[in-house]
A and B are shown apart, each in its own frame.
Chain A
Amino acid sequence: MAVFDFLLAYDFLLIALLAGLAVAAVAGPLGSLVVWQRMAYFGDSLAHSALLGIALGLWLSIDGGVTTTLTCLLVALLLTVLEDHQKLATDTVLGIFSHTFLALGLLAITLMPGGRTNMEALLFGDILTVTTAEVITMWGLSLAVLVVLKLQWSAIVAMTVHQDLASVEGISVGRHKLLLKLMLALTVAISMKIVGVLLITALLIIPAAAARQFSKTPEQMALGASLLAAASVCLGLAGSLFWDVPVGPTIVLSASVLFLVVRVTSRPYI
């Protein structure tokens, strides 16, 4: 009986771990780009809009993963268009949308007929309920984003360093910016189940900021961030089992602790 219990536990843990690692792999490079391009608020807006996606899924009675992904992609497009045609500063525009999406999503889910939804799971993640099918989808999307990133990496980094120089070199800056935002939307959509809408940006930014401390090249930072994110997922899962606390916040807090450790132990960068 004890062995059976253990296997059962092991099974869902393995799936949870695989799901977390799928997100960690892609969170490293994309988180680095979010840090370099100062897109944290943009990421937040996308994350909050994921809640709308869930509501939409409940309303239409179709899979929440599909509606979340589509909603994030659409919102990324919408925000890109709006940013270009605004008199307001970008972070004001994002601030308006970010919190409107959050409020709208919360209300929509609360008003949804047909039983109560576990709001906490949506806000802070519920990695232990991830299904095998979801893990496969996550890895599929994660690998797809990584492949596109690899192909476009130098163009995107060049654009990060200097837009004008990049465009003189023949890089279409507008198209790459959009591409980056769509990849971010996909990442947010697959991270949703792991850390929840309120903590997604943390999982992107904190490992990247930690990796910055010891990196000499953009690639080192991207890879380092992925490894640190993976470590945070492992630590978070273990910690949550050990202390019987929610997984999402534990993962994020693990990332913060790792950041502190790295920050204290490495020499300050110039």
Chain B
Amino acid sequence: MPGPSIQCRQLNLTLSGIEILSAIDLTIRAGEIHCVIGPNGGGKTSFVRSLLGQMPHSGDVEFTWESTDTPKSKTCTKTCTKTSQHTIGYVPQFLDFDKSLPISVYDFMAMICNQYKPAFAGFGRGNREITEQALERVGLHGKSKTQLGSLSGGERQRMLFAQALIPQPELLVLDEPMTSLDNRGEEIFLSLIQELQSQGVTIIWIAHDLQQVRELASSVSCINRTLVYAGPPEPFLDSDEAAQLFRFTRPLSTPPKPSTDPDAELQHE
């Protein structure tokens, strides 16, 4: 299933008077693993969400789907994610989950993946086989009846990945998926990402582990309010500019400063 190519021109984003992103021109080719990197608070998440049409941005974002039935390119301005039969898988950074909501892994998956088929008695309407398969792919076999509240952070993150696999995505968007993962989860993620790429899926991956970026990315963009760099990973990662930008982020133990981080604010709204 071939993924789309994405082109954005002069993308600007201003939120309550503060300029988050300005004048970003970027092309993401079909079927590549495109890593978005940049310092904390630089606007990576905002950028990707703008691409997906979830931010009040200005400028053009154009998805060109090479697959079957819609040969013409589709310009999407505001909401583009569910406008056609194209599937976009999205793995958010973390699941800020309130334990007061009683819900099983299976119901969660059915709800997120199938939610256009209302049924009175509940969410038990997803395809059990497909759900189990997706869970198995992320190493959560047999967990479908577990309550969400009793999953560990790493398991929850893997479940979010499984959710993005139903139905098979053409575009996969990952927002720092490794943040709360355990080692095993990381292995599973990396091999799944490679597997999906081999099937032609376009992958946009907000990453912070530069080593992983070096190993897997076909192209890289570095966002820090503006587009600092776009192109193949190696030359940029080896440059002095990158060393300067990422000098503080390499030891990942330091948490981002919440007050100056627009991304963080968005996630806690």
Do the two shown chains form a genuine complex with each other? yes
| Partner-B contacts on A (CB < 8 A) | 35-36, 38, 85, 150-151, 153-155, 157-158, 160-162, 164-172, 209, 212, 215-221, 269-270
B122 & A219 in contact (Cβ 8 Å cutoff): yes
Chain B interface residue number, banded? 35 or more
A221 & B108 in contact (Cβ 8 Å cutoff): no
* Nearest 5 Cβ contacts at the A-B interface: A170-B82, A270-B150, A168-B90, A215-B102, A219-B122
B118 & A212 in contact (Cβ 8 Å cutoff): no
B54 & A153 in contact (Cβ 8 Å cutoff): no
| Residues A164 and B122 in contact in the complex (CB < 8 Å), given A212-B100, A218-B103, A270-B149 | no
User: B143-169 toward A: CB 8 Å interface, digit per residue (1/0)?
Assistant: 000011110000000001001000000
16 additional contacts, CB 8 Å, given A161-B103, A164-B90, A218-B123? A36-B98, A36-B101, A153-B118, A155-B115, A157-B111, A165-B92, A165-B163, A168-B54, A168-B90, A217-B102, A217-B104, A217-B122, A218-B107, A221-B101, A270-B99, A270-B149
Among B16, B49, B107, B267, chain A packs the most CB atoms within 10 A around the CB of B107
Chain A facing B: main interface SS: helix
B88 in the interface (beta carbon within 8 A): yes
Some 17 contacts from A to B, beta carbons below 8 A apart, are A150-B120, A157-B111, A158-B115, A160-B101, A161-B103, A165-B160, A168-B54, A168-B90, A170-B79, A170-B82, A212-B100, A217-B102, A219-B121, A220-B102, A270-B99, A270-B149, A270-B150
Among A158, A168, A221, chain B packs the most CB atoms within 10 A around the CB of A168
Q: How far is the CA of A162 from the CA of B98 in the complex (A)?
A: 10
Chain B residues within 8 Å of A170, by CB: 79, 81-82
Q: How far is the CA of A172 from the CA of B53 in the complex (A)?
A: 12
| Partner-A contacts on B (CB < 8 A) | 16, 49, 52, 54, 79, 81-82, 88, 90, 92, 95-104, 107-108, 111-112, 115, 118, 120-123, 147-150, 160, 163, 267
Q: Which residue of chain B has the shortest Cβ distance to A173 in the bound complex?
A: B54
Chain B residues within 8 Å of A38, by CB: 98
Among B52, B101, B150, B160, chain A packs the most CB atoms within 10 A around the CB of B101
Rounded to whole Å, the gap between the CB of B220 and the closest CB of chain A is 23
Chain B residues within 8 Å of A171, by CB: 115
Q: Which residue of chain A has the shortest Cβ distance to B119 in the bound complex?
A: A154
Q: Which residue of chain B has the shortest Cβ distance to A37 in the bound complex?
A: B98
B111 & A154 in contact (Cβ 8 Å cutoff): yes
Rounded to whole Å, the gap between the CB of B2 and the closest CB of chain A is 20
Chain A residues within 8 Å of B79, by CB: 170, 172
B97 & A161 in contact (Cβ 8 Å cutoff): yes
Rounded to whole Å, the gap between the CB of B53 and the closest CB of chain A is 9
Chain A residues within 8 Å of B81, by CB: 167-170
Rounded to whole Å, the gap between the CB of B40 and the closest CB of chain A is 18
Q: Which residue of chain A has the shortest Cβ distance to B145 in the bound complex?
A: A216
Chain B residues within 8 Å of A164, by CB: 49, 54, 90, 92, 267
Among B99, B122, B160, chain A packs the most CB atoms within 10 A around the CB of B122
Chain B residues within 8 Å of A218, by CB: 101-103, 107, 122-123
Rounded to whole Å, the gap between the CB of B162 and the closest CB of chain A is 12
B150 & A217 in contact (Cβ 8 Å cutoff): no
Question: CB within 8 A of B100: which of A36, A167, A270?
Answer: A36
Rounded to whole Å, the gap between the CB of B235 and the closest CB of chain A is 33
Q: How far is the CA of A161 from the CA of B122 in the complex (A)?
A: 15
